[in-house]
Amino acid sequence: MATRVQHALEQLKTTGVRITPQRHAILNYLMESMGHPTADEIYRALEPQFPSMSVATVYNNLKMFLEAGMVRELTYGDNSSRFDANVTDHYHVICDQCGKIEDFSYPSLKSVELQAASSTGFEVHGHRLEVYGVCKSCRDQ
C-alpha cells in the first residue's frame, strides 16, 4: 500500500503541489481505509497526530485530491460525502442499518454503458450502481 501512496505523492509533485505531512497523512489514511470515510472521520482520526490541523485543511486537501483524479466523492442518502481512494471502476454495497460501504466489482456491467450509448446516441462517461442490504455484522446482532 505504501507504494501506491508514494506513487500518488509523486504524481502530485509533478503538478507543483507541495507534499506536506498533513497531505501525506490524509492520502495514506484514505488509501488504507476500506470504510469510505467522511472528511470529519478523517479529521478525527488524524487530529491526535496533527493537533493544529483544521477540518478545513482536510476538506481543502480532499478537494485537491478530487481535482487531481486521485479520489472519488461518494454522495449517498445520509447527506455526508464519503471519499474513496479506489478510482478504478467498481460498485458499492451499502448496509441499511449501520451505513457500512463495501466495494465489489462486476466488469460485465460495462455492457450497460455500451447499450445506453447505442440506444440513445449519448456519449456515455460512466455509471453508478449502489446495492442496499444488511451487512453480516448487523445481521449477527
Binding residue positions for Fe cation: 127
Q: Binding site for Zn(2+), residues?
A: 95, 98, 135, 138
Amino acid at 83: F
Spatial contact of 80 and 38, defined as CB atoms under 8 Å apart: yes
DSSP string for residues in 54-86: -HHHHHHHHHHHHHTTS-EEEE-TTS-EEEES-
Give the annotated binding-site residues: 95, 98, 127, 135, 138
Contact, 94 vs 82, CB < 8 A?
A: no
Q: 40 near 55, Cβ under 8 Å?
A: yes
Q: Which amino acid is at 18?
A: R
| 49 and 43 Cβ atoms separated by less than 8 Å | no
